Structures are given as structure tokens and as C-alpha cells.
Amino acid sequence: MTNSIALITGANKGIGFETARALGSAGITVLLGSRSPERGEKAAAELTVDGIDARFVHLDVTDEDSIQQAAGGLDQLDILVNNAGISPAEASVLPSAIPLSALRHTYETNVFGVVAVTNAMLPLLRRSPAGRIVNVSSELGSLIMLTDPESPFFPFNLLAYNSSKTALNGITIAYAKELADTPIKVNAANPGYCATDLNAHSGFRSAAQGAAEIVRLAMLTPDGPTGTFTGGSNDQLGAPLPW
């Protein structure tokens, strides 16, 4: 992966930041995508102090102009990590009570933003000898887990967040099929229940633990898989998850 460049969306904190730290520590130049210039610059500076080649890129995955400007400012990209994700408080209600605005808000980032960023960055990834796309998904996107009464995820009936991650898994499969005859590998990673701002830091795993599966998929060798959904809450790197 020498001389490789990785772009991570939502990288100024949490799992995205720890993904940038781990990839940077492996010698990869990391581009920290962030909506906030202040937070993005601060995060990049923190990694730079640790000897990592980290650079801030202004990127709002819900803003087409921002996405196009970010892509236009790059001449190389080898790894894309679609990490930016939200779970708005107003969407954490019963399905019958969810405001459509909250559902749209969730999908703008978790679904449409992924497609917009991926399509903008794909011409660069196609030029890479070993392009990698990692979509940060969740166990809550697994229809099998959500419908199994014995699953620990069965009680979490979050219409917006859960269905957005299910959609993301479908997006992962679609791109993997389109790019099957290229060196680009497209996979979905489950970081597990990590303590981040997304869940008011209630998770039992650290952001660094959650980043491990993302990093594994970002650094797959040429014989690695594509079109998979992997990871676990017990540091079982590469463990397959049911769709």
C-alpha cells in the first residue's frame, strides 16, 4: 500500500478518525473528509503530530458542490471509506410516528451521500492499481438479525437508521457487481456497537476497535473478496454477517 491515498468521510471524530489513524500508521496518506473545516483541520493536525501524513478535505456528503470540489482537488485515490453516518434523535421513534423529514435527513447522509461520493470518486479509483471501497454498515442493517427473536438486535426497531444500513448493504452489492471485472473491491464493514457521538457514547466497543474491520477491508490484497458484509462485535475480523 506504499504511496496509497485514502479518503475517509466523516473522519474528524469517532470511527472515521480512528480509521484514518490506523491507515495513516500503515504508511497511507489519509484525507480526512469533514463538513466542519475547524474540526477537520484540528483532527488532521492531531494525526500529523503523531507522524501521519494527514490532510483535511472539506466534504459534506449531502452537498453535491462540496463533493465535486473535493473530487476535483484530487489527482489520485486508492481507498474510499464511506464512513459518514447519522441517526437523528427525531428519527428514534416508533415507525408509525417518524416524521418524513427525519427519514429523508437520515437517507441523505447514510444512503444518497454514499452514492454521490462514490460516483464522484470512482474515476480516480478506476485509475488505481488496487482500488478499495469500504462502506461502513451495521448489524442493524441485517434483515436476518432484525427478524430473529433470538438476536440481540431484534428489539432495536429504528426504521430510519436500520433501513438506511440495509439500503447501504444493497448499494455495496450493486457496486461490487458492476466493478467485478476491475481491481476495485467493494465491501461493507460492521464496526460493532462502538462508543461514539452517534449513540451518546453508550457503545461497549471503542472507536479504534470498530475501525479494525474497516482497515482490514481497505487493505485487502488482490486475492481478497468483494461484495461481502463482515465484522463482529467481538473483534472477529472478517467474520461474515447475514444480509
Tens-place pLDDT, residues 24-36: 999 999 999 999 9
Q: How many residues does the chain have?
A: 243
At how many degrees (to 10) do helices 14-25 and 207-218 cross? 50
For 144-211, give the secondary structure using H, E and C. Answer: HHHHCCCCCCCCCCCHHHHHHHHHHHHHHHHHHHHCCCCCCEEEEECCCCECCHHHCCCCCECHHHHH
User: Identity (one letter) of the amino acid at 104?
Assistant: R
Tens-place pLDDT, residues 46-86: 999 999 999 999 999 999 999 999 999 999 999 999 999 99
Does residue 74 contact residue 124 with C-beta atoms inside 8 Å? yes
Tens-place pLDDT, residues 146-179: 999 999 999 999 999 999 999 999 999 999 999 9
Q: Which of 13, 107, 161, 175 is catalytic?
A: 161
pLDDT band at 204 (very low <50, low <70, confident <90, very high): very low
Whether 161 is catalytic: yes
- Average pLDDT score, the chain: 93
Side-chain half-sphere CA neighbours of 158 within 13 A: 23
The kind and range of the H/E element at 41 are: helix 37-49
pLDDT of residue 201: 54
For residue 144 the three cell numbers come to: 436476518
Triad 179, 17, 37: Cα angle to 5°:
100
Whether 107 is catalytic: no
pLDDT above 80 for 194: no
> 38: Cβ–Cβ under 8 A, 6 or more apart, which residues?
none
Q: Which of 13, 107, 165, 193 is catalytic?
A: 165
